[in-house]
Amino acid sequence: MMIVGLTGGIGSGKSTVAKMFKKLGVPVYNSDKKAKRLMKNSKKLRASIKALLGEEAYDGKNLNKAYIAEKIFWDKSLMNQLNGIVHPAVRKDFTAWAKKQEAAYVIQEVAILFENGLHEFYDKIILVTAPERVRLKRVLERDGASTSDILARMGNQWPDARKMEMSDYVIENLLLEDTVLKVAEIHKLLLNHSEG
């Protein structure tokens, strides 16, 4: 079974693309959602996160997302330490999940795939792109965050040009009908590749 990474900058529409692959019957693992679930439910992770960020990292049983974001946003070292705790747990969970799937290939949706040096793990990588102004508009409408916050988050991610060099397929996600066609084309190529 092939392991395919799906990534893209904030607001690029990688979740929209992931849903399109799901409609084609491809198993998709959403790393962000799983990470949040693991951070909430794993006693080991909870203890490590509290040790790193303090008791306030949790509000009762739930993650205190605002507090965590505030703590790590401007502190790269702290962000890297948190990633060092969470990412191995997600990797282990993904590997166990992938083994249970019966498909020619599975997709792992990962926001910061290249930034975390995970590209070696995948047989193929799909990058979803969109112009910065489009991404900014999408995130403003979706999250209601400030422009400066969104631009800072974009600044923490590699530019598309750098990611394109390391990707096998690129989907420019502007017009939905074009994206649907591109997803179908890549799906066919991946099926052929997995059989070859």
- pLDDT tens readout for residues 90-145: 999 999 999 999 999 999 999 889 988 888 999 999 999 999 999 999 998 888 77
In this prediction, the residues of the chain whose per-residue pLDDT falls under 50 are none
**H or E element, residue 181:** helix 176-195
Q: What is the pLDDT of residue 196?
A: 65
Between CA 41 and CA 89 the distance in angstroms is: 12
Q: What is the pLDDT of residue 72?
A: 86
Q: What is the pTM of this model?
A: 0.90
CB atoms within 10 A of CB 195: 7
Three-state secondary structure call for residue 179: helix
Distances in Å between the alpha carbon of 16 and those of 20, 95, 99, 175, 196?
Answer: 7, 23, 25, 12, 28
Q: What is the pLDDT of residue 181?
A: 97
